């Protein structure tokens, strides 16, 4: 019953009630699967081996893609986890240490070991900048290979060890191929579920707009650890399968070139895509076979390929296949907010009490950016924060939203103290914000950008999402409906499916407000939202801000457009050189002598 109601609520009325057609995005995957299923008809076991290798590589790349392509973390040395999985499976299956385990049990153990080491390898990403993290993954790859060489009793050292023997019917070339293909299909499905969920969008937000991600309550450590566990387990399973395919493994089988292959498959495939890296993996597995005489040049070929991609098609295969983004957008479009949608979207939150700053001081070196600021915003109030350039307005917003830690003073929301230095904890208090320069994910659609704002409202866990359990579908349905309402409220619903990097600057400002509204904020902090807007757009922005405040949301508005401030604010605080110069109603501030001489002018 609920699902039927949800369908009725979607724009499109009757059409939305028809049975859903197969999403076009699935067609290339089904085409590839059909080809893969038909491959045994060739009867050529050499091709069985190549296709099995491609499937195994994809099992690793599918997980790694979430780390590199989605989260933007440079994990170059992922061959380490392939090595670890290959040796764990082989050692357990041959019984070098314990009584021999069946191949499937050994693979399962490898997955657990891979999950643990996936986190160990990944942990530096939570602290180190990208290139240093890349170096640590490479270092880990070297360590694993050296241990495999040195620990002769267990791994066979340089002589090697036999890979696991698969039971019937997977003990033939084609049987093993189908087994690997099955796991590859499962991985594609599972990573696809993550990609189309709040977790996938949060990963891209961490990559492209980390500060905005924090402001919406996304916890980078928790999210990355979940992904490292999944990708590590998948890479180790790929390692076990790799050992099965090779039948015999030595440390030399796990080269740096292999690590490069995984990494470059994702880059040529395109960031934030699944189809692109899948095609990239197939291409790079086939390349040495097609160009066999060039096998010795493979590192060189990869480097050339990488250069060509970076220079000629930075979006990779995915961008080439993204036909929807090339369709023209309506030329004479206008932003027409419809505040009526706010009523449904904002369903009142419990009244949070006043937002208070008492005697806040923050200095950068010798510069006192704010110096003993007192400020109080009431629920439902539009509070203007104005002052000359460098007077401390943005610093005040950054203190309220948790980015800066004041050296002195106290902040409270109602009776709760607001602890500094944890910006991702502000969303749970219902504090949302926009930025002086819009922090938007250009490669995602407008709708996805807005849905990111509601990430903390989702209830499904990472595992539930991976397996597409019902709570995941419920989350997605609710988030999409809320995001469409938020877009309608700010007047951008017609651009929902457009890529955000195709929008005009003024539209991006409204997208940021829509994203902030997804939190149904108790307090909304707006940093110069009218900058770059036409006078007509500023009027519409003003009405929108007032409509938001009528829902009970307190708005702290930093702005240089004095007309907007005096038109819509209930209260105005003026900063000068980091101190409060004046505070009062717009009428009082307009005629305040010091304010006029320091800021407003004659």
What is the secondary structure of 201-262 as a DSSP string? HHHHHHHH-HHHHHHTT--HHHHHHHHHHHHHHHHHHHHHHHHHHHSEE-GGGS-HHHHHHH
Structure tokens at 213: 């991600």
Q: Least CB distance from residue 527 to ligand ATP, whole Å?
A: 8
Nearer to ligand ATP, 393 or 540 (CB): 393
Residues 360 to 399 in contact with ligand ATP, rule: CB under 6 A: 364, 367, 369, 387, 389-395
Nearer to ligand ATP, 392 or 453 (CB): 392
Q: Which ranges of 401-529 does DSSP label H, i.e. alpha helix?
A: 446-452, 462-466, 470-490, 505-517
> Do 56 and 180 touch, CB atoms closer than 8 A?
yes
Q: Least CB distance from residue 277 to ligand ATP, whole Å?
A: 37
Residues 393 to 432 in contact with ligand ATP, rule: CB under 6 A: 393-395
153 exposure class (CB count in 10 Å sphere: 0-12, 13-18, 19+): exposed
Nearer to ligand ATP, 449 or 573 (CB): 573
Nearer to ligand ATP, 282 or 557 (CB): 557
> Do 359 and 372 touch, CB atoms closer than 8 A?
yes
Give me the 80-119 binding string for ligand ATP, x by CB under 6 A, dash otherwise.
----------------------------------------
3-state secondary structure of 71: coil
240 exposure class (CB count in 10 Å sphere: 0-12, 13-18, 19+): buried
Nearer to ligand ATP, 540 or 561 (CB): 561
Nearer to ligand ATP, 143 or 367 (CB): 367
Nearer to ligand ATP, 476 or 527 (CB): 527
Give me the 314-353 binding string for ligand ATP, x by CB under 6 A, dash otherwise.
----------------------------------------
Q: Least CB distance from residue 363 to ligand ATP, whole Å?
A: 9
Q: Least CB distance from residue 436 to ligand ATP, whole Å?
A: 6
> Do 473 and 193 touch, CB atoms closer than 8 A?
no
- How many residues touch ligand ATP (CB under 6 A)? 11
Nearer to ligand ATP, 100 or 390 (CB): 390
3-state secondary structure of 165: coil
**Binding of residue 561 to ligand ATP (CB under 6 A):** no
83 to each of 146, 155, 210, 310, 483, how far by Cα in Å? 11, 11, 32, 29, 44
The residue to which tokens 């004479």 are assigned: 332
Phi, psi of 355 (to 5 degrees): -95, 120
3-state secondary structure of 429: helix
Q: Least CB distance from residue 505 to ligand ATP, whole Å?
A: 17
Q: Least CB distance from residue 393 to ligand ATP, whole Å?
A: 4
Q: Least CB distance from residue 92 to ligand ATP, whole Å?
A: 53
User: Which residues make up the interface to ligand ATP (CB under 6 A)?
Assistant: 364, 367, 369, 387, 389-395
């Amino acid at each position: 019953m609920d699902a039927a109601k949800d369908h009725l609520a979607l724009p499109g009325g009757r059409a939305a009630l028809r049975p859903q057609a197969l999403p076009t995005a699935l067609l290339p995957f089904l085409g590839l699967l059909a080809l893969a299923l038909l491959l045994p008809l060739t009867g050529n076991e050499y091709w069985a081996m190549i296709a099995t290798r491609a499937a195994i590589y994809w099992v690793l790349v599918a997980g790694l893609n979430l780390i590199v392509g989605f989260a933007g973390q440079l994990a170059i040395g992922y061959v380490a986890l392939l090595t670890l999985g290959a040796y764990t499976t082989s050692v357990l299956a041959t019984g070098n240490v314990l009584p021999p385990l069946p191949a499937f049990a050994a693979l399962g153990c490898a997955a657990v070991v891979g999950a643990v080491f996936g986190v160990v390898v990944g942990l530096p990403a939570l602290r180190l900048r990208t290139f240093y993290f890349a170096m640590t993954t490479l270092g880990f790859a070297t360590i694993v290979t050296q241990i495999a060489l040195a620990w002769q009793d267990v791994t066979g050292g340089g002589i090697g060890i036999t890979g696991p023997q698969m039971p019937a019917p997977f003990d033939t070339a084609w049987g093993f191929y189908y087994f690997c293909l099955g796991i590859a299909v499962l991985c594609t499905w599972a990573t696809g579920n993550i990609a189309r969920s709040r977790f996938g969008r949060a990963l891209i937000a961490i990559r492209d707009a980390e500060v905005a991600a924090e402001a919406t309550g996304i916890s980078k450590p928790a999210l990355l650890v979940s992904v490292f566990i999944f990708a590590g387990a998948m890479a180790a399973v790929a390692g076990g399968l790799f050992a099965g395919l090779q039948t015999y493994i030595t440390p030399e089988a796990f080269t740096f070139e292999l690590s490069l292959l995984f990494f470059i498959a994702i880059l040529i495939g395109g960031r934030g895509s699944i189809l692109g890296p899948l095609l990239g993996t197939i291409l790079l597995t086939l390349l040495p076979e097609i160009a066999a005489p060039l096998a010795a040049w493979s590192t060189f070929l990869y480097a050339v390929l990488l250069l060509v991609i970076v220079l000629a098609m930075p979006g990779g295969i995915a961008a080439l296949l993204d036909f929807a983004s090339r369709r023209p957008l309506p030329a004479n479009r206008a932003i027409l907010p419809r505040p009526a949608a706010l009523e449904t979207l904002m369903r009142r939150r419990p009244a949070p009490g006043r937002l208070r700053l008492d005697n806040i001081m923050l200095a950068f070196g010798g510069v006192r950016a704010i110096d003993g600021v007192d400020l109080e915003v009431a629920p439902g109030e539009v509070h203007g924060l104005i002052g000359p350039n460098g007077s401390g307005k943005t610093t005040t917003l950054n203190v309220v939203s948790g980015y800066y830690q004041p050296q002195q003073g106290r902040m409270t929301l109602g009776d709760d103290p607001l602890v500094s230095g944890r910006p991702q904890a502000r969303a749970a208090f219902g504090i949302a914000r926009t930025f002086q320069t819009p922090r938007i994910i250009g490669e995602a659609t407008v709708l996805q950008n807005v849905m990111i704002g509601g990430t903390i409202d989702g209830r499904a866990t990472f595992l539930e999402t991976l397996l597409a359990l019902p709570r995941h579908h419920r989350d997605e349905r609710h988030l999409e409906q809320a995001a469409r309402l938020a877009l309608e409220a700010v007047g951008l619903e017609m651009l929902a499916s457009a890529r955000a990097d195709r929008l005009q600057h003024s539209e991006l400002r409204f997208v940021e407000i829509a994203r902030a509204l997804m939190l149904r904020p108790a307090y909304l902090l707006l940093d110069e939202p009218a900058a770059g807007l036409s006078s007509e757009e500023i009027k519409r922005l003003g009405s929108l801000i007032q409509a938001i405040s009528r829902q009970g949301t307190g708005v702290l508005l930093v702005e240089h457009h004095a007309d907007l401030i005096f038109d819509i604010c209930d209260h105005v605080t003026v900063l000068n050189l980091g101190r409060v110069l004046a505070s009062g109603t717009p009428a009082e501030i307009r005629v305040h002598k010091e304010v006029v001489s320091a800021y407003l002018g004659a």
